[in-house]
Each structure stands twice: as structure tokens, then as C-alpha cells.
Amino acid sequence: MCIKHFSLTVVSVLLGITTMAQSPSKFNYQAVARDASGVVVSSGTVGVKVSILTGSATGTEVYSETHSAATNVYGMMNFQIGAGSGAAGDISTITWGSDAHFIKVEMDPAGGSSYTVSNTSELISVPYAEYANSALHVDDADADSTNEVQMMMMSGDTLMLTIGGGSIDLSGYDQSAGVTSNDSAITANAAEAAAALAAHVTADMDVDSTNELITNMTLDGDTMLQITEDGVTHEVDLTALANDNDWVRSGDTLYNTADSLIGIGTKDPFIDHKMTLQPGNALGGLMITRYESSAAAKAGVSNSDYNGTGLRIGFENTLYDGTSGAKGLSNTIYYMNGTEYGIENSLFYGTGATYGIRNYIYKVAASGTNYASYNYVKARALSYGSYNYAENSSTDNYGRSYGSYNLTRKQSGNYGYSYGTYNYSLNYENGGTAYGSYNNVRALGNSDYAYGTYNYAYSGVYNYGSYNSAGGGSYNYASYNQGAVYSTGGFSSSDRKLKKNIRNYEGAINDIMQLQPRVYEFDLEKYPTMGLPEVEQLGLVAQELEEVFPNLIKETHNPKLQMTESDAIERGFEYEIIAPAEYDEDDKLLQETQVEAGEAVDFKAVNYTALIPVLVKGIQEQQAIIEANEAIIEDLKARIEILEN
């Protein structure tokens, strides 16, 4: 422990001087506790051993004791020397006036008795006060009990004067500021103040109640301490404690206008940030709690950034190496009585890429569940998991506006899933309607296009993208549906400019005659999760059609069905868990257990639509045969008529 670490010791001893007519053999001690590296030991308990040495800093020990001292958030500790435990020697028998005395303070920052930090300094104030008490004190001659010599002491952050002298709350002062610069001044004045104090104690032998040592103490403003002695008011300037040139106090406002950096919980703030907050591992960084706020709009956190020329970020969260749940931003709103927004973003006049919210999740554990955005809404009226309003108001002729734009990639590994959009909708009430996706699109301009859903599946395996466009690959579907599909109309691309090698198709009747229409039922027991129809079917068998029209057959893959565990149990499916249930810190269910049910099935599918041109051509060929036969019949009828006549 270096002298700087206990620079408040002299102040504490001076303020703890006992000046009453009969002084107890103890005095107050106050210091800032720091470990061997100079780090403040805040809000903890330290072990302290105090020794009184005579003659020199390495002189004979005449008294010692130990303390278990509690420190506040600033590392400040307070205790009375003479009131400790395990005392060796008698502090009341020390002959303070016979020689110089020194105080040795040893400390264990861990709160035990392994003292690794120490400091020795000469006692100045207390010896004189104790000497005056033991050697020179005589009885106060008057009978007035209200004008006795008073005691000034510190209790925590409160400076007190006994016998009606009042108290002053010093908690608002930065107790660590300016101490180094004030050490020498306070130490230099301590001897003079102690000598004057001893003289007053000795001289107070009259019956005059107006000339006692100290009769009053007040604080004028925030920085001037006024002490009344012998009817005369003395002022002590405390400016150095309240203002260290960086921090300025103006009324109840404390502000910092310097270019210096501010660190809270760290002595190494980021060089490009005004303030760095680094709480302990078990502490939150910043919490804003407001109750019964006024009707006016008040932001919990407000960012205003104007006229920037580079990358500007209003709010950025970076989470690394988490071993449990991590939330970049969590908003909880209770008792809504109007329009409430968990997050509201307003972006104006952007000239480049502009994001209200942009989430990027990268290199997470393979077994975890990760959401770029997760919304849980439960309400009695309209509920929106996500509501997006996008308007392109550009005055030029082009531009794009996306209510929601999702780019999802599965880039490594042989198996897995990638969902551009995954919707799960369940309606528990009778007469209700559940939409996995509901889109209402209108195009009001003369040359506008409106797509309820536009899906593009291209050059991959097992991509089910429904405007329908699919590229190459074994299993590519712009839309893959399990269950009935209803449409009021539909179109397929057939423009001449999209085609080449156009030629006539012949032999339709021959091909049609090879087809074998069948009546059948689907095997629901073997394939319960494919959503196959339960009623009797009329159609073609893919393998039989493939012998005639191989180009109308597509190898198809049906993946395992993903659903909640409760749904799988209700429907009697065998399943495997792929994601366990998730709960928040209040044990509220965020997501049910997700499972895969059934088996993945490879099968052949038929393009029934492509049979329409075959049937059309077959009818045309059949009609030609009919017309030819009718001509032959008419010719035969004419010949028969000639023969009969």
C-alpha cells in the first residue's frame, strides 16, 4: 500500500479528534482501500491491522488491534482506532507527549489476516489532542452543560458537530477528486490546528459561555464551510473537493465539458467514446425504469445524429461467445392504453442503403435456435407479429419498396433447411380462419404489376419456394403444397419468344391409347404426414405414364414434416425433437418444442397439365378421322343410291 492509497487518512484523523471535556481513548480513521495494484476495493470487506509505533516509522510497537472494515462504492472505509479487536497494549496509557508516534496500517483486500498492503505515517493531530486530554485537562469551572467543548466527526458521508452544532451531508462531493493535490496542504496545517486545539482545551477555565472552542458550523452554498469560534466565523473553502477542473457543479447539475474520457467500472475507457460503461460480470449495464410518466413523449434512450458523412449507427449491439440466452435488445411494455412501440425507427433523406433494423447472426452453435427477429404478440384485438409499411415515394420513374425482404442461405453441410419465410398459423376457435400467409396486393397504375406471392426456386436441391418460377436441379418447386390447392384462375408461360425448335406433334391417338387411367386410394397409413387425399382417386400411375411420356414425370422428394410436439402427439405421429421448447426469464413459453414427424419420401410426380395438348391433338386427329370417314360414308351412300336406281 503506497501513501497515495491512504491519502485520506490524515483528513480522517483530524476530523475525528475528540475535543470534549472527557475524551475517550479512541479516534476516527477513514481511508480509501486499494489493493496492491492500486484498484479500489469497492462495496466489500477488508481486513485491517493498526499498530502505534513510537520513536520512528520502524520504532517500537506500543499498541495494535485489528478491524474488519466495510467499504462503500468508492472504496471508503471508516472505523475507530481504539475500538478494534485483539488489542495488544493499552491505548489509554500511551504517553503521546513523550515522543513522536507513528501509525502503521496493514490491509488484506480479501477480508482476512494475510496483510499484503501496508502504509506507515506520522501521527500529528491525535497525539496533541490526547496529550491535552490526559495531561492538561482541568474541570470546566461553570455549571452550564450546553457550552462544553464539542466533537466534530465523520459518520459515513456526514460531517457532524456535537451539542447542537448540526451536521452536513457531503455525499454529493467527489471524495476521490483533488485529494492528491490537497494532501500536503492538509498535512501542513494539521500540526498547527492540533496545537491550537490543545491550547484552547488548556485555556478553557473561565465561566464565560461565549468563548468556547467551537459554537456553530454551517455550509454556505456547496463549497464554503463556516466554523464559529470565540464568536468569530472562519471560512474553509471546499472548492477543491467539488471541482477538480474537469467536473463542474452548477446548482444541482454536475457536468463535464472537457475532452477527457469517462470510464465507469473501468480505468481504460474506449478512446473513441466519451463514456465507457463496464459493469461487473453479474451486473447489468444500464437500466431505465419509469413509472407513471407524463403523457408527453419521453424516450428511455434517445439518439440524435445529424449531418454525418460516414457510417452512423444509432444503436449497436454486439454479443460474443454466449453460453446461455443472449438478447441484443429486449423491450417489455405493460398496461398499454394507447399506441405503444417497442421500437420505432424513423429514417429520412437516405442516399444509400438504409435499415430501420438490421440483424446479422453469424457463427452460432449448431445445436441452438437463432432468430434474427422474434416477435411474440398476444392481444385481444388485432395482433401483428410483424407489421411493415413500406412506401416508395421517389419522384423518379423507378424504385423498389419491400414490406419484407428475406435472404436466407444454407451454405455448408450436406443436410439442413433454409426458409426464406416460415409461417406457422393455428386457430383454436370454431368458425375462425388461419392463414399461413395472407397477402392483399393491388396495382393501381396502368403499367403496374401486382404479385400476391412471388417465389423463385433455382438450381438447388429440395428448394420449395408460388408467381411460380423454378430453375434446374433435381427437386425445385416454386410452390410445394401438401393438401388441396384452390385458385380462381391460373396461367403458364407459353409466349412464342420463350420457345425454340417449335414443331408439330403427331401420333396423339396412338399415345393416348397406351395410357391406363386407374381408380385408386392413397396409402395413408404408410405415409401419414404427406397430406394425401383420403377419398377415392381417378388418375394415372406415374411409372405407367413414364413409359409413354417420360418427360411428364418428375422425381420428387417430400421432406419430414416439421411441427410442434403437441401437434405430433395429437395426430399420433412418430417424431424426433429438433429444437427444445424455449422460455424467457419469467418462465413464459416463447416457443414450443419443435419436431420432425414421418419419413422423408422420394417419389414420382405427374405433370397432368402437360397432357392437355396431347388430348387436344388426339381430338384433332380423331376429328380428322371422323371427317374422312364421313366423306367415305357419303361417297358410299351415293354409290348405293345409284345402284338402287
- pLDDT tens digit sequence for 229-240: 767 788 887 766
**Span 416-425, average pLDDT:** 72
Q: What is the pLDDT of residues 321-352, one digit of tens each?
A: 666 566 777 777 776 666 677 777 777 776 66
User: Domain limits of the chain?
Assistant: 3-242, 406-480, 508-618
User: How far is Cα 412 from Cα 589, in angstroms, rounded to an integer?
Assistant: 31
Q: Say whether pLDDT at 117 is over 70.
A: yes
User: How far is Cα 406 from Cα 2, in angstroms, rounded to an integer?
Assistant: 61
Domain spanning 508-618, CATH architecture? Orthogonal Bundle (1.10)
User: How far is Cα 478 from Cα 467, in angstroms, rounded to an integer?
Assistant: 8
**Residue 188 vs residue 79, higher pLDDT:** 79
The pLDDT value given to residue 632: 95
Give the lowest-confidence range in 203-207, 212-216, 232-236, 350-354: 203-207
**Span 497-514, average pLDDT:** 93
The pLDDT value given to residue 382: 66
* DSSP H helices in 462-610: 508-514, 542-546, 565-571
The pLDDT value given to residue 273: 80
Q: What is the CA radius of gyration of the chain?
A: 45
**Residue 22 vs residue 491, higher pLDDT:** 491
In this structure, are residues 479 and 468 in contact, taking their beta carbons and an 8 Å threshold?
A: yes
Q: What is the pLDDT of residues 121-178, one digit of tens each?
A: 887 654 445 445 544 444 455 556 555 556 666 666 777 776 666 777 776 655 444 4
The pLDDT value given to residue 96: 80
User: How far is Cα 549 from Cα 273, in angstroms, rounded to an integer?
Assistant: 71
**Residue 234 vs residue 243, higher pLDDT:** 234
Q: Say whether pLDDT at 492 is over 80.
A: yes
Residue 34's pLDDT band (cuts 50, 70, 90): confident
**Residue 6 vs residue 82, higher pLDDT:** 82
Q: What is the pLDDT of residues 550-568, one digit of tens each?
A: 999 988 888 888 888 988 9
**Grid cell for residue 534:** 383420403
The pLDDT value given to residue 286: 79
Q: What is the pLDDT of residues 46-91, one digit of tens each?
A: 999 999 999 898 999 999 999 999 999 888 899 999 889 988 998 8
DSSP letter for each residue of 299-365: -SS-----S-SS---SS-----S-SS---S------S--S---S------S-SS---SS-----S--
The pLDDT value given to residue 238: 73
For the ranges 36-40, 239-243, 474-478, 552-556, the maximum mean pLDDT occurs at: 552-556
Q: What is the pLDDT of residues 577-601, one digit of tens each?
A: 988 888 877 788 878 898 989 888 9
Residue 188's pLDDT band (cuts 50, 70, 90): very low
The pLDDT value given to residue 426: 72
The pLDDT value given to residue 497: 92
Percent of the chain scored above 90 by pLDDT? Answer: 20
The pLDDT value given to residue 408: 72
Q: How far is CA 588 from CA 580, 584, 591, 592, in A?
A: 14, 5, 9, 11
